[in-house]
Amino acid sequence: MHTPDKESTGAEIAGTEAGLRALLLARAAALGIAAGEGESGEAAAIEALLEREVVVPEASEEECRRHYERHAARYASGELAFARHILFAVTPGAPLDLIRRKAELTLSELQLDPARFAALAAECSNCPSGAQGGNLGQLGRGDTVPEFERALFEGASTGLLPRLVATRYGFHIIAVDRREAGRQLPFETVRAQVAARLQRKALERALAQYLQVLGGAPLVQ
């Protein structure tokens, strides 16, 4: 099953990775951080550079509690969604606009006639689940990549989701057939999970800001 799992393929940054790597290596060299041989040596130099120049503050107890209260549904045990999908896969060099348009047209067809989901999954999906009408079975939090999970669990409704869901694998049409509510976990149980989520978001913001500055103007030592 080509369900969007948590393993990253790197496809979502295709076309930019080489340029970013060159930018980071140039900055590392300017600071006297030498890159070793091969990709592993370059990766070590970039890691040393980011550890030196990108500062990510830890989330406070208050920030963690506020996030938990605002997103309590994320921190439930046993929450399940029974879903189907149709995947329009995107690979490096593929005509992105054409693939998106085909996915949008298919979604429009299904909005007019949801009963055609299984037939269109068999016809159009690039996932092996298409042979089973796009059926993914039961999914819990953590079973899929974050962008797919958000679309699946952020709402409480069932049926065909009104918009395409873009992930690193391509564009998905998703139908949620049934939901099973989970048991709310106390804050103390998920404190580390909340902190890790906030830390990850803070790191993403810090890296984006750093790369913007690095690409826009020379950084002085």
Q: What is the CA radius of gyration of the chain?
A: 21
| CA dist 43 → 6, 20, 36, 83 (Å) | 22, 12, 9, 38
* Helix, coil or strand: residue 139: strand
pLDDT band at 117 (very low <50, low <70, confident <90, very high): very high
Strand-pair partners of 88: 171
- Burial label, 108 (beta-carbon count in 10 A; 0-12, 13-18, 19+): exposed
pTM above 0.75, yes or no: no
Q: Which H or E element spans position 159?
A: strand 159-160
Q: What stretch of H or E contains 175?
A: strand 170-180
pLDDT of residue 74: 78
- Round to whole Å and give the CA distance between 79 and 173: 21
Query: How high is the pLDDT of residue 208?
Result: 86
